Amino acid sequence: MGKHIHAHSEDGVGVIQLNRPQVLNALNRDMVHEIVTQLESFDRNESIKVIVLKGSEKAFAAGADIEEMMDATPLTLELLNPFAEWDKISLIKKPILAAVNGFALGGGFELALHCDLIIAAEDAKFGFPEVKLGVLPGAGGTQFLTKAMGVRKALEWLWLGESMTARTAYENGVINRVVAKELVVEETMSLAHKLAKQPPISLRLIKEAVHAAQDLPLQDGKNLERKNFYLAFASEDQKEGMRAFSEKRPASFKGG
């Protein structure tokens, strides 16, 4: 239990709830550190198969803590290197799902984009308002958004700093599902529990291959996929999955 987050697990799903309600879960450095530390803890915990990140009804996270940055200089930021902490999220091997209610702006939007799947409420709002403060996203926002929606659309949203609706985010491939706001957490947990029943080694190897596909030339990506395909044959789950198929029965995956 951190100062700025709550964490618990249920049936193989680790849940991290952002908990700075007085500032709509605005992310300060301590909070990001707590989130990353908890993600790493869940990643190491063999009983946890899938991780869910959620905010409150009003906000997933409404940006970064501006007060913390007011007096920063290029040199203080260089020495502090605050975004190195964010880079650790990309090293998490297990599926991370974001349940987004309300606002996911600035750093909050970046946190959601660091997750593998995003489920959002119909009235959720996503955006990068940094341009209105004379800056720009710094925790990967320009990169994640461009990879999700393409150069021209990303530029338009980043330059204007306006918020997009969940429907617009969905239509542009930025998020996975749009559901009624009362059902966001329920839908996310339902999806998480479905994934928790899948063979963990397969999920892990698929995640690595899919993320690599964004950056590698096609043949390099195919080579990585091939190696991961071969690696899956070292798992008990592969043997169980193929036996179950052959015997026409449901598979029971143990994670080995």
Q: Which two tokens stand for residue 84?
A: 């190195």
| Active-site annotation holder among 34, 130, 187, 225 | 130
Buried b (16+ CB within 10 A) or exposed e, 164-195: bbbebbbebebbbebbebeebbebbbebbbeb
Measured CA to CA, the distance from residue 111 to residue 36 in angstroms comes to 11
236 is catalytic: no
Q: Which residue out of 7, 59, 61, 64 is catalytically annotated?
A: 64
The one catalytic residue among 110, 112, 121, 141: 110
Q: CA 158, CA 176: separation in Å to the nearest integer?
A: 21
Let me know if 130 is a catalytic residue.
Answer: yes
Q: How far out from the chain centre does Cα 3 lie? A: 21
Respond yes or no: is residue 138 known to be catalytic. no
Alpha carbons 91 and 67: distance in angstroms, whole number: 29
Which phi and psi angles does 86 have, rounded to 5°? Answer: -60, -35
Q: How far is 74 from 79, CA to CA, in rounded Å?
A: 9
Which of these is catalytic: 55, 107, 108, 241?
107
Distance of alpha carbon 217 from its chain centroid, rounded? 24
What are the strands, taking DSSP E only, across the chain?
Answer: 5-10, 13-18, 50-54, 59-62, 96-100, 103-105, 117-121, 125-127, 163-165, 177-179
Closest of 11, 10, 8 to residue 41, by C-alpha:
8
CA 72 to chain centre: 27
Q: How far apart are CA 215 and CA 145, in angstroms?
A: 14
Q: Examine the residue annotation and report whether 85 is marked as an active-site residue of this protein.
A: no
As annotated, the active-site residues are: 64, 107, 110, 130
